[in-house]
Amino acid sequence: KQEVTQIPAALSVPEGENLVLNCSFTDSAIYNLQWFRQDPGKGLTSLLLIQSSQREQTSGRLNASLDKSSGRSTLYIAASQPGDSATYLCALGAGGTSYGKLTFGQGTILTVHP
């Protein structure tokens, strides 16, 4: 059974800092990995998708890496802004007949203060 752990559970940083969120998983037989953002009581917004054959993906100030052999992914946020404050979730997509069902980590609660 896939287990996903996100570290740290919470992070508070001043505006402008570069930061790294970590995600580790136990089963490397994944189809893909997605990073999501969730605002309180709201839906999930997909930030980045990394296919299992890829090593990283970039979108604006965000960069996500994937190392299947070590069971790790990192989300790098450059020049953080108060609007980045949210919960960040990583999710592993299962392959085969699971058609990519996602197993989520518990999330990292990020607060960026002005």
Partner 1 sequence: AAGVIQSPRHLIKEKRETATLKCYPIPRHDTVYWYQQGPGQDPQFLISFYEKMQSDKGSIPDRFSAQQFSDYHSELNMSSLELGDSALYFCASSSNAGTGSYEQYFGPGTRLTVT
CB of 104 to partner 1, least distance (A): 4
Q: Nearer Cβ to partner 1, position 9 or 79? A: 9
Q: Nearer Cβ to partner 1, position 14 or 95? A: 95
Q: Nearer Cβ to partner 1, position 92 or 112? A: 92
DSSP 44-64: EEEEEEEETT-SEEEETTEEE
Task: Return residues touching partner 1 (CB under 8 A).
Answer: 31-32, 34, 36, 41-46, 49, 51, 89, 91, 93, 97-107
Name the helix (H) or strand (E) containing 76: strand 72-77
